[in-house]
Amino acid sequence: MNLTQEDWISQFETDEKAVMLDVRTEDECDQGIIEGAINIDFHKGQEFIDAIAALDKNKNYYVYCRSGARSAKACEIMNELGIENAYNLLGGIIEWNGDIV
């Protein structure tokens, strides 16, 4: 599900089962990530699929990338692997108005 930054953050902050995922490359993450995010590189192919498959399906995942394209695809893959609640950040980190670390 695609969410605006405002909805993504407000939902994340009130969600007791929330996990934030950054699906960018390691080089991109070195330039800064949203605090608390776990990095699982979308471009790692089967390694990415295996990491997603190993996630707790009872959690809710808030996913972002650079622009929102990879994270949208990642959310689709997560849904296919049985993770029902995957929320894509529209616009990605390039349109992010919050802090990065």
Positions marked catalytic: 65
Q: How many angstroms separate the CA atoms of 99 and 81, rounded?
A: 31
The two tokens of residue 17 are: 């089962």
Query: Distance between CA atoms of 65 and 71, rounded to whole angstroms?
Result: 5
Q: What are phi and psi of 40, to 5 degrees?
A: -130, 105
